[in-house]
Amino acid sequence: MIEPDDEILYCEPSYVSYNPLITLAGGKPVAVRTCRENGFQPLPEAIESAITSKTKAILLNSPNNPTGAVINRKNAEKIASLAEKYNLLIISDEIYTELTYDEKPFSILSSPGTKERGILLNGFSKAWAMTGYRIGFACAPAEIIEAMMKIHQYTMLCASIISQKAAIEALKNGDTEKKEMIESYRQRRQFIWQSLNEIGIPCHKPEGAFYAFPYIGDYGMKSHEFCMKLLEEENVACVPGTAFGKAGEGFMRCSFAAEFQDIKEAMKRIGRFVKKIK
């Protein structure tokens, strides 16, 4: 798919593995910054300004880890048009696509002209809470899948039969439990978003996934220092934003994939912590 030093665009803050995986494949990762002021939306104009003669693909993750942002249809279609204009592949990581809380997500690969250039990545880890089963899937043009198999069959071989059987069962009979889980996440999302803002930590309302990504840059500490002090003094574990790239400085990731009582206690402790450091 790429030759040495070919460029892959991806949006930061981003899932931690994108940058090193692009490097491991011999490519050059090029980060396109997203900002809280526009809800961490990937902006088509920012992506276009990063495209060069060496750009081969655009990698997108929606809903996004760590920000919880969901690419809106307008931006998705504009980015798809850019891919067609510059003859780029679109790699769409949609692992959280069923964990959305406001509107049904629009896949960029539903846009015109993406069938021959789109690579869809998804799996069972999030929507069915099957992280340990390690079941994923990809959809792409036949020649790309064939190239992917040359690596996959000699590294992964295949998923275990236990995992495959569990995935089939989830598809056939897992909808009720999945809907219940999503509704529970929706309630926890509302609580953590509201609580963080009431504490005095500004937070964009996550539209998908199960993470809040609040801004902590007003407390006079780098994100790593803030999170370490929070852990040491209040026993609350959050991930510093810099784990997700330079654009994550000044933020931390808070997961609401936890028991409601634990989230309530965490918000209480975070509130106590920020009062001490003001």
Segments making up each domain of the chain, as ranges: 7-171, 176-277
**Residue 236: its pLDDT value, please?**
99
Residues of the chain where predicted confidence (pLDDT) is lower than 70: none
Distance CA 199, CA 187 (A): 18
CA–CA–CA angle 66, 70, 74 (5° rounding): 145
Q: What is the pLDDT of residue 105?
A: 85
Distance CA 157, CA 192 (A): 41
Residue 231 CB neighbours (<10 A)? 12
Q: Give the model's pLDDT for residue 2.
A: 87
Residue 165 tokens read as 């059987």
The two tokens of residue 9 are 């665009």
**What per-residue confidence (pLDDT) applies to 197?**
98
How high is the pLDDT of residue 1?
Answer: 82
pLDDT number for residue 77: 98
Report pLDDT for 91. 98
Q: What is the pLDDT of residue 37?
A: 96
DSSP string covering 110-175 = GSTT-TTTEEEEEESTTTT--GGG--EEEE--HHHHHHHHHHHHHHT----HHHHHHHHHHHHH-H
Task: Look at the domain 176-277 and name its fold.
Answer: Aspartate Aminotransferase, domain 1 (3.90.1150)
Class of domain 7-171: alpha beta
Is residue 257 classed exposed, middle or buried when 0-12, 13-18 and 19+ CB atoms within 10 A define those classes? middle
Helix axes 223-234, 260-277, angle to 10 degrees: 110
